[in-house]
Amino acid sequence: MKKEFVYKRFERFWHWTQAALILFLALTGFEIHGAISFFGFEQAVTFHRTAAIMFLVLIAFAIFWHFTTDEWKQYLPTRKHLRAQFEYYISGIFRNAPHPTKKTVLSKLNPIQKLVYLALKILVIPVMVASGLLYMFYRYPQKQGIGSLNIDSLEKIAVVHTVGAFFLAAFVIAHIYLITTGRTVTSNLKAMITGFEELETEHTPAEVHHTAGTK
C-alpha cells in the first residue's frame, strides 16, 4: 500500500463545487417545479438562474482542465472487466471478494464509473444545459424577431429538463452510496477531500493495460 496523490486540487474543487451546485440546483429546481417549497418561488427562480450560470462557468473551466491535463482519457469506456465489476457489486462485495480492477492514479475509474460518468458528461449534463438555456431564454428570440427560433410552448423543454433532474437526483443517491464501497467505507470520501488515497502497489496485468491506454 502506498499513499498516492489521486485527485488534484482543481479536480477536487471542481468535484465539490459541482456537487454543491447540483444539490442546490435540485433544491431550487424542484421548488420551481412545484414539488417542494423552501425559498419561495421567486427566490428559487433567482437562485436557480444564478447557480446555473455559475455551473456553466465551472463547466467551461472543467472542460479546459480535462483537455489540458489529458484527464478526459480516464472516461474512455471499456468493456473489459465491465461484467466483472457488475458481478462484484451484485455478489462479490457480499463475499468480501477483491475489487475486480485496481485503482491507480492513471486509471482511477472502474469500468462502470467510466461508462456512467461519460454518459453524464456527454449526455445528461449537455441535455440539462441545453434545455436549461432554452428554458431561460426561450422567448427572447421572439422578442428580437427571429421567428424561426420561436418555441410554441415551454412544455417540451420543461419535460426534458425535469426528466434530467430526476435522473440526476437518482444518480446522486446511488453515487453517495457507492463511494462507501471503496477499500474502506470512507476511503473514497477522504480521497476526494484530501486528494490522497492509499492505493495497492501490486500491478495486475489488467491494470497495466489501462495505464498504457490512458497515457
Partner 1 sequence: MGLLTILFLTSIVKKSVEPTPLADLKEQFTKKKQPPSVDHTKFSQLKKKFSRPQDVTAACNECHTERHTEVMKSSHWNWEREEYIEGRGIRYVGKKNILNNFCIGISSNEQSCNKCHIGYGWNSPSFDFNNPNNVDCLACHDNSNTYTKQSGGAGMPDPSVNLTYVAQHVGKPTKANCGTCHFFGGGGNNVKHGDLEKTLFDATRDVDVHMASDGVNLECISCHKTEKHQMLGKVYSLSSMNRNRSTCEQCHTETPHKSDVLNEHTLKVACQTCHIPEYAKVNSTKMRWDWSTAGQLKNGEPFEIKDSLGDEVYMSIKGSFVWKRNVQPDYVWFNGTASHYLLGDTITPTAPIQMNTLHGSYADPEAKIIPVKIHRTKQIYDPVYKMIIQPKTFAIKKGEGGFWKDFDWVQASEKGMESVNLPFSGKYTFVETEMYWPINHMVSPKNNSLQCNSCHTRDHSRLANLRDFYMPGRDYNASVEFLGTGAIVLTLLGVIGHASLRIVSKRKNGKG
Binding mask 122-151 for partner 1 (x = CB under 8 A): -----------------xx-xx--------
Q: Cell 489521486 sits at which residue?
A: 6
CB of 117 to partner 1, least distance (A): 17
Vertex 132: Cα angle to 131 and 136 (nearest 5): 115
Q: How far apart are CA 214 and CA 71, in angstroms?
A: 8
Q: Which is nearer to partner 1, 158 or 206 (CB)?
A: 158
Binding mask 31-70 for partner 1 (x = CB under 8 A): -xxxx----xxx--x-------------------------
Burial of 176 (0-12, 13-18, 19+ CB in 10 A): exposed
- How many residues bind to partner 1 according to rule CB under 8 A? 34
Q: How far apart are CA 132 and CA 197, in angstroms?
A: 36
Burial of 28 (0-12, 13-18, 19+ CB in 10 A): buried
Q: How far apart are CA 215 and CA 116, in angstroms?
A: 21
CB of 178 to partner 1, least distance (A): 9
* 151-210 residues near partner 1, rule: CB under 8 A: 152-155, 158-159, 162-163, 165-167, 169-170, 173-174, 177, 180
* 71-90 residues near partner 1, rule: CB under 8 A: 89
Which residues sit at the interface with partner 1, rule CB under 8 A? 32-35, 40-42, 45, 89, 93-96, 139-140, 142-143, 152-155, 158-159, 162-163, 165-167, 169-170, 173-174, 177, 180
